[in-house]
Every structure is written in structure tokens, then in C-alpha cells.
Chains A and B, each alone.
Chain A
């Protein structure tokens, strides 16, 4: 049995809306805090006498480690529930998207479970990220050939 064509439109108009102001506020605050944390790591490493190139690698590694640790002990999803894009957009979101399926699919074995499903969420990002960078690289190369 089919419902009237108008129903879908009605349902989406009837649906309760997300509290946009509140969501934006938390996303901004938590996202900003993660950036401050990254800057703090950077300053600490510089103070410890690490050279600039290594600091650039150490900062994301530290944030990824924290994110995976919080995912593992079951805290990350509770923060993300309020923070939304605040935890999703920085590198922390990506780390969580890899760690969460790894924990979840371990029950199906290390090969077909963990191994096959670890990139189930992050996979599209990696795949289209590489594709986009190849295209960008191509454009960059061709643009370089044109003498201006």
C-alpha cells in the first residue's frame, strides 16, 4: 500500500528541528578547545627543544592518541554527543571513526572483522581524499607548464 506523495514533505516539515544555536555553541567551544590543546602540545614540544618539523608531526599524533584513548575507554562518544562537529571536524573525529569500528568488529575476528571493517566509516574519506589530491596534483602540474 502506498501513501500520498505529499506525506514525505509533510513529515519532514512536521519533524522536530535540531537546536541549531545550542549545537553551534558547543561545536565552537569544544572545537576551539581542541585547537588550543593542539597549540599547547606544540608549545610544550618546542620548549622541550624538539625541532619544528618533528613538532608538526608530534602534535597530530598526540591528538590522535588522546582521541583513540578516549574512544577506547568509552568517553569520546559522550563528549561528541554534545560537541557534534566540534569533535568531528578536527583530526580527533577521524581517529575516532577508525578506532570505533576496530573495537566494535573485533568479535568477528581479526581478519574479517577488525581487518575488513576498520575503515568502514573512514574509508570513503581516505578513498576520495586520495582521488581529490591526485586531481589537484594534475591541475597543479598542468598549471605549472603554462608560462605566465
Chain B
């Protein structure tokens, strides 16, 4: 016997009636004020309208207590090469295809992060993972062998910060232990977004190299490790940039927008931090972001750096504008930022994952690159 399911429709809206009134009330309670105008002198970013309560405070002490990074050949030869937990110069990670190799990197990264604390998959409540490949292939297939509830994420190169932010919220709410994993592989990314690997072509000076790297973070309510104080999710920005070889410029407005919203809501300033690290803006995006921040009255000074500029020695390794990819910010956090925070070299850090949410199909159809930046406020 088939039961008929009827959904009541709200008049003129076409939205299911159940939930409709609930949601409107929910929003009016959450956001009682009309968004205010705060920054009218913005030159490039139209960030006049800020909503309030966009900064999510992590009330229960949640910390990143274990992390691991896996890398390829160029990463091993870079300035942070010594700090990687595992590298494979062949970049194959014992797999036949580049796609499986990327999955294998995530598997190794998560296993190593668990191993450092003598943990097993049973100790993890939620696994959040994402990468650049179609349908998050590396995460789905690479982490298949872990029997942990899985949440797939897509935030392009901002996935590391997105995963950290979401795991902090889950830990804060539920008290369970979360793992956030992300990766990118030069070879699989080249194949998907640009040209075949052996194709002979020249790169423009603004182009960035997708890092062959993976990072895994384990967060939980404990008193060891690096504390996540608060998180702020970015708004997706239509950058107007259509050049796939200038992603730094495409992501810069998103990075600046998130930082401006953070400083505006928290009342803090760049000088309050020991390091403000954006994900993978490269030399191009780094200088533009600095400029936008300056025009909005924030002098970024010495504390501002970009993970894309740290991973490689740009001149010696001929890396043009720097590194990019999900693995870039994740591996720089695991090999440089978090260890420095644990050793006390750094106190307060803003970690801002920046992602160019582009699709090769949309680009060919003439759409500009959309970008997003998620912020995680860390304290040693």
C-alpha cells in the first residue's frame, strides 16, 4: 500500500510550509538589526554591509592536539622540507594513478596524526575531509578504509581552514574528537585544471604551483596543543578575474573581506597577532591583500605572511608566484605554524584559508573565478 505524502505549500512562495515560519522567526531572532554600514572608504571590496555575530566563538577549550604533513619532491626540497612527516620523491605514493596517489597521501597523513597520539580510528567521532578533485575523489577514496563518520568538504584551497573551523565547532558542541584532512597533488590538479603533465608550455609570472601535499589535524577538548579561540567563515566573492593563472588576485578580495570583518567585529588589530597567515595567495595576491587592507586603515606590517610564499624557495625552485592548493596551507600549518606555536615562538595567530572556487567548465563559459576565505583564530 503506497501512502500519499502531501507537502503544504506556503502561499506564493513554493517553499514547504513546515519550517517556513520557523525559519523566518529564526532569522528575525538571530539577526534583529539591519546590517550596518561601517566601511565606506573601501576601494575594491564592497564590504559596506556587515552582518553581526559572524564571529563564532569556541567557548569550550578546543585544541589541535595532533597533526601531520605529507609531501612530494618539490616540497621536500623546499625550505620546510625537513619538517614533513613523510615525503615521497616519486610522488606516486605506491599508487598507479595520480588520483589514487593523492588519496594515499590523505591516508598516510591521517594515520600519522593518529599514530603520534597512539590513537585509532575508533577515537575519532567525525572525519571532515576535502580536496580539489572532482567530487572530492581523494578524500572519498583515500579515506575509505577509516570507519569514521565522514563529512566531505569543498572549499577549494580554503579546505584546511574550513575543516579546522568546522571541527572546532563540532568539538565545542559535542565534545567528540574530530579529524580534518585535506590534500592537493600537482599532477592530478594539472590534469584537471590545466594541461596534460608532459605538455610543453610556459607559465606566466603570476601562476602558482599546486602543492603536492596533505595535512591532517586532530582536534578535541583537551588542554594540550594549540587552542582554537574563534572561527569566522568567509563570504564568497565574485572577483571579476577570469585568468586561471592569476588566482592570487582572484582570492585577495575574499581574504581582505574576511580579515576586515574579523577586525571589525572583534575590535582587534593586526598588531595584536604574532602572525597572520593567508592560505595560498602567492606573491601577487599577498601584495594586493596588503594594499586593500592598507586602504581600509589596517597596516599589516611585519606580522602578515602567506603560506604560498613559505612552502617553496621561489627563486631557486622556479615557482613563479608561489604555492597553491589545499595541501599548501595545510602542510605549512603542520610543518611551520603549529610547531612554532607549540614551542612558544608564536602566540596568537590568524590562519586564513583562501580558496578559488573555480570550475574549468564555468571558466570556459566566461564566468569569473569566485573565491572564499575562512578564518581560524589560534592561540598557543
Contact = CB atoms under 8 A, between A and B. Distances in A.
A14 B377 CA distance: 30
A31 interface: no
A64 interface: no
B240 A80 contact: no
A129 to B, nearest CB: 19
Interface stretch (A37-45, A52-60, A91-99, A135-143): A91-99
Contacts of A14: 249, 284, 287-288
B298 to A, nearest CB: 18
B199 A4 contact: no
Interface stretch (B4-12, B44-52, B81-89, B161-169): B44-52
B47 A1 contact: yes
25 contacts: A1-B236, A2-B46, A3-B253, A5-B240, A7-B253, A8-B240, A12-B243, A14-B284, A14-B288, A15-B205, A15-B284, A16-B283, A16-B321, A19-B205, A76-B198, A77-B197, A77-B198, A79-B200, A80-B202, A81-B200, A81-B202, A103-B196, A104-B198, A105-B196, A121-B196
Given A7-B239, A80-B201, A104 B284 contact: no
Interface string B123-148: 00000000000000000000000000
Interface in A55-99: 71-72, 74, 76-77, 79-81, 83-84, 87-88, 93, 96-97, 99
B18 to A, nearest CB: 31
Interface footprint category on B = 35 or more
B253 A77 contact: no
Interface in B229-286: 235-243, 246, 249-250, 253, 257, 283-284
A121 B195 CA distance: 8
Main SS class of interface, A: helix
Contacts of B98: 107
Given A14-B287, A80-B202, A104 B191 contact: yes
A5 B197 CA distance: 35
A125 to B, nearest CB: 14
B204 interface: yes
Contacts of B196: 100-101, 103-105, 120-121
Given A96-B198, A100-B197, A6 B257 contact: no
Interface string B188-211: 000100011111111111100000
Interface string A1-32: 11111111011101111110001000000000
Contacts of A1: 45-47, 235-238, 257
A32 B54 CA distance: 60
Contacts of A101: 196, 199
A15 B246 contact: yes
B235 to A, nearest CB: 5
Contacts of B253: 3, 7
A10 B239 CA distance: 12
B97 interface: yes
B43 interface: yes
A4 B45 contact: yes
A76 B200 CA distance: 6
Interface in B73-104: 96-99
Contacts of B235: 1
A12 B245 CA distance: 11
Given A16-B283, A100-B195, A107-B96, A8 B200 contact: no
Most B CB atoms within 10 A — which of A7, A81, A121?
A: A7
A2 B99 CA distance: 34
B284 A74 contact: no
Contacts of A15: 204-206, 246, 249, 284
Given A87-B200, A100-B198, A103-B196, A7 B240 contact: yes
A77 B200 contact: yes
Contacts of B321: 16
B201 to A, nearest CB: 6
A70 B253 CA distance: 42
A76 B240 CA distance: 35
Interface in A97-126: 97, 99-101, 103-105, 107, 120-121
A93 B205 CA distance: 22
Contact of B198 (A3, A74, A83, A93): A74
A39 to B, nearest CB: 22
A18 B237 contact: no
B200 A96 contact: yes
A62 to B, nearest CB: 18
Interface string B326-340: 000000000000000
A121 B199 contact: yes
